[in-house]
Amino acid sequence: MPFTHLHVHTEFSLLDGASRIKELIETTKALGMDSIAITDHGAMYGVIDFYKEAKKQGVKPIIGCEVYVAPGARQEHREVNGVRYYHLILLAENQTGYRNLVKLVSLANIEGMYYKPRVDKDLLRQYHEGIICLSACIAGELPRAILQDNMERADALVREYLEIFGRENFFLEIQNHGLPEERKANAGLVELAKKYDVGLVATNDLHYVHREDSEFHDILLCIQMNKTFDDPDRMRFASDDYYLKSPEEMAALFPDLPEAIANTEKIAARCKVDFEFGHLQLPYYPIPAPYADDEAYLRHLCEENLPRRYATVTEKIRERLEYELGIIHRMGYDSYFLIVWDFINYSREHGIGVGPGRGSAAGSIVAYLLGITNLDPLKYDLLFERFLNPERVTMPDIDVDFDYIQRGKVIDYVKERYGYDHVAQIVTFGTMAAKGAIRDVGRVLNLPYAEVAEIAKLVPNELKITLDKAMQESADFRK
């Protein structure tokens, strides 16, 4: 019987999910499944990597998130009856659903952060369109009510979620990892499904790809909690069942509920979210009068600054300027240069230190004339094409250094100028480097520090060195 996993944690459920995306998709395909979801904990930053890899391997990607739901209002930083948050699975059915899911996760982080980023029922009501909801694992609000023998509350919750999402978009999620709590919750959920004519859906709370991966997932949890492997009080999963099971394995877990297996495919068929890559959606600089457009204003600023930068404007200077302006306009980057010029100009006018420029942007005479950089590219024979090459359509990267003490003022200026909801800061993911991984695992396994340090030293000091590569290159490390 066909089956789709709809409750999946990848490596982007940081220090919790141990499913490497490439291996996850490969194994999904090898097991005969043609679709799979991503539902990382409270975050969606793995979505694009997941989508691209799934498309590359011919597997349908289903975009979702396991959100945290506050027991009261998301702004209230407190527990309610000992509960900080519940779990809930949300899947984007279409582009509207994807946008709403992004909005929910963003607002959870901005407004609902209390140990975890949390949404609440008000947000779910506001941004429910295009979203399919599953009631989640035994950490969900509905299963927890059943486990507390509060069927009156469970009834009320089913009615509430049906009212929020609609009958076609809400499913009761059943799981079987061999836990007694799951057996009790499943019995209650089956009863509620019959009573309210709600669909059942079977999932596996997937945290790693293969059963044998459970051991290193266990170590990963220790690293997250800063615990050692032999700590009796540490968090641990109850079994090694949290892996990517085959359709046959999933069907065998629910022999009396084939509809719960079939519904995974029905949901997967409904979910159709696609991304368009290679099309830039750039912000637009507000052009002052009397200039017609961003191209005209950029040219004006360059012409105005020519005599300030060059005592004599030679033909060579003029040719370089025309050449650069032509490429910048043809590639649609006029406003981009104006935006960068604007916040650098603001910084200099307000005594905020700005670096002289570094990286390939120093090869642009337009950047030099605007004061974005202070290096004359003609004097040093710097190439514009290293910065912006018409043959390679990639976004130009202008690195700017600010006085770190007053850097926040520049960010505040940009927010005021373009709107707080139009400015974001980017994230960089740090991975466990080879030596760091050895030290972390050694600490978790309670190995002597000196021994661990000695092993870590045997890893070659190379940029982006991996353990696999170290095994190949270092005989001592291999031993």
d(C-alpha 469, C-alpha 467), whole Å: 5
d(C-alpha 121, C-alpha 72), whole Å: 8
What are the counts of helices (DSSP H) followed by strands (DSSP E) for the chain?
A: 19, 7
CA distances from 293 to 280, 290, 310 (A): 19, 9, 26
- Parallel, antiparallel or unpaired: strands 199-202 and 170-174: parallel
Amino acid 116: pLDDT: 96
Calculate the CA dihedral of residues 402, 407, 409, 415 and round it to 10 degrees.
90
d(C-alpha 15, C-alpha 11), whole Å: 7
Residue 244: other Cβ atoms inside 10 A: 24
- Parallel, antiparallel or unpaired: strands 170-174 and 118-119: unpaired
- CA atoms 152, 157, 162, 168: torsion sign: negative
- Parallel, antiparallel or unpaired: strands 86-92 and 131-134: antiparallel
Contacts of 470 (CB under 8 A, 6+ apart): 434, 458, 459, 460, 477
Q: How many residues does the chain have?
A: 479
Amino acid 234: pLDDT: 86
Amino acid 413: pLDDT: 96
CA distances from 266 to 89, 160, 375 (A): 16, 23, 60
Q: Are 244 and 5 in contact (CB under 8 A)?
A: yes
**Is residue 381 classed as helix, strand or coil in its secondary structure?**
coil
The contacts found for 364-369 with CB under 8 angstroms, 24 or more apart, are 364/324, 364/388, 365/317, 365/320, 365/321, 365/324, 366/298, 366/302, 366/321, 366/324, 366/325, 366/328, 366/337, 367/337, 367/398, 368/309, 369/301, 369/302, 369/305, 369/306, 369/309, 369/321
In order, the DSSP letters of 134-198 are E--STTBHHHHHHHTT-HHHHHHHHHHHHHHH-GGGEEEEE--SS-HHHHHHHHHHHHHHHHHT-
| Tally of CA atoms within 13 A in the half-sphere of 288 that contains its CB | 6
Q: Are 363 and 396 in contact (CB under 8 A)?
A: no
The contacts found for 27-32 with CB under 8 angstroms, 24 or more apart, are 27/209, 27/210, 27/244, 28/59, 28/244, 29/57, 29/58, 29/59, 31/244, 31/246, 31/247, 32/246, 32/247
Amino acid 281: pLDDT: 79
Amino acid 223: pLDDT: 87
Q: Which residues of the chain have pLDDT under 70?
A: none
- Parallel, antiparallel or unpaired: strands 118-119 and 86-92: unpaired
Amino acid 282: pLDDT: 81
Q: Are 261 and 254 in contact (CB under 8 A)?
A: yes
**Is residue 389 classed as helix, strand or coil in its secondary structure?**
coil
Amino acid 425: pLDDT: 84
Question: pTM value?
Answer: 0.87
**Residue of 211, 241, 254 whose CA lies nearest to 27:** 211
Domains and CATH numbers, the chain: 21-270 (3.20.20.140), 294-422 (no CATH), 434-478 (1.10.10.1600)
d(C-alpha 24, C-alpha 353), whole Å: 47
